Amino acid sequence: GDEGDKLIFRILNSGDFLKKMDENDFNKPDLSKIVNKISEKGLRYDLTVPFARFVVKNQNELTLPFKRYQIQPVWRADKPQKGRYREFYQCDVDVIGSKTMINEYELIQIINSVFEKLKINAHIKINNRKILAGIFEIVGEADKFIPITVAIDKINKIGIDNVIEELNKIGLSKNAIKTLANLLDKKNNSNNNISELKNILTNNPTGKEGIEEIEKILNYLENDNLFVKVNFDFSLARGLSYYTGTIFEVIANDAEIGSICGGGRYDDLTEMFGLKDISGVGVSFGAERIYDVMEQLNLFPEYAYTSTKVIFINFGEKEENKCIQLAKELRKKGISTEIYPEQAKLKKQMQYANKKNIPYVIMIGEEELNSETLTIKNMNSGEQKTIKAEELIRFFG
């Protein structure tokens, strides 16, 4: 869509990037013409569109339904600000080639496992574009689907009053705005107002299908006691134009940062690359935002801050060789080990261990070398112990 196009970073052609320019471009510079003459490539905007292209290109080799996950950086030519980055990693999960709601249900399971493991309290907002479409049809504004969803999508950022103003600008009828505003009203947003929408949409096939799909998903969820709660939310619209059915958004309960995961179902995305009637559904986790939430809420586990478990103090060349041998044995056992690389003053080496939160310091000086022993200092308790070199592995057993 247009909104997205503006946010694509363009790459200048290599070599003589001016070679396609003609006199007119220099006499009457026209940005939108020139940009396509000097730039053929752009930076990846998301992972869903490239995925659809991949599926079309490899349709003869792939077995449908095709499932994949993908973690890669994407770029947005946006003003950087909290929670909004010019380069960030998306972690996408998609199923393509299957229309049933069990796919949506399984994606919810994945979202639940992820945030349960990360200990992030969060909830999933869920809606269906067919419900939105149905309502827009009923209020006689079906032709303005995209601009209305773009406006509604901003409700959490700009509030209901500003959304109403935008709907006014788009040219919606007073009646249409009134109906939408009523349905968008926060107080009505809960799983309960599905029945209200169901009543309104009884005679609208599109909307009815949307309701049925949402109910199917909620039925699957009935017996699950998920860590991440799922709430139907009619005000959820999503900004991207390619969604046609279910839409998701995950919000962290205890941090203000926008959505940390989002996605939905797309029926026609492969069509732009020449393959019809392949429906897909997927979600995308925003790695940096999730990181921000975890940092803000102190959710990183202690071990995320300690990488090395054991360090050997360096007392000189002879001692170093012994340390190298023993370090090899520890590493073989999966114990992450360092040897201080310089024969620096003991104080400096201890400071290094301290600053890096290394819990065990091993000292092999001349005495230890001669007696085939080593001294281990527990940096947390301060306790120090001399053991035989051959007992080292057992010490960490």
* Distance in Å, CB of 251 to its own copies, minimum: 25
Do residues 124 and 228 touch, judged by C-beta distance below 8 A? yes
Q: Measured between alpha carbons, how far is 350 from 335 in angstroms, rounded to an integer? A: 19
Q: Measured between alpha carbons, how far is 169 from 120 in angstroms, rounded to an integer? A: 39
* Distance in Å, CB of 240 to its own copies, minimum: 20
Nearer to its own copies, 34 or 218 (CB): 34
* Distance in Å, CB of 296 to its own copies, minimum: 19
Q: Is the peptide bond before 65 cis (omega within 30 degrees of 0)?
A: yes
Angle between helices 193-200 and 174-184 (to 10 degrees): 150
Residue 22, C-beta contacts closer than 8 angstroms, at least 6 positions apart: none
Binding site for its own copies (CB under 8 A): 9-12, 14, 16-18, 21, 26-27, 29, 31, 34-35, 38-39, 43, 63, 65, 67, 72-73, 77, 95, 98-100, 102-103, 105-106, 109, 220, 320, 324, 328, 338-339, 341-342, 351-352, 355-356
Nearer to its own copies, 154 or 356 (CB): 356
Nearer to its own copies, 159 or 316 (CB): 316
Q: Report CA 95 to chain centroid distance, whole Å.
A: 17
* Distance in Å, CB of 341 to its own copies, minimum: 4
* Distance in Å, CB of 156 to its own copies, minimum: 26
Q: Report CA 161 to chain centroid distance, whole Å.
A: 30
Nearer to its own copies, 32 or 192 (CB): 32
Do residues 123 and 111 touch, judged by C-beta distance below 8 A? no
- The full length of the chain comes to 397
Nearer to its own copies, 16 or 161 (CB): 16
- Torsion over CA: 88, 91, 95, 101 (sign): negative
* Distance in Å, CB of 320 to its own copies, minimum: 7
Nearer to its own copies, 341 or 397 (CB): 341
* Distance in Å, CB of 312 to its own copies, minimum: 11
Q: Which two tokens stand for residue 271?
A: 């069509």
How would you classify residue 264: left for phi > 0, otherwise alpha for psi between -120 and 50, otherwise beta?
Answer: left
Q: Measured between alpha carbons, how far is 393 from 136 in angstroms, rounded to an integer? A: 70
Nearer to its own copies, 233 or 338 (CB): 338
Do residues 104 and 90 touch, judged by C-beta distance below 8 A? no
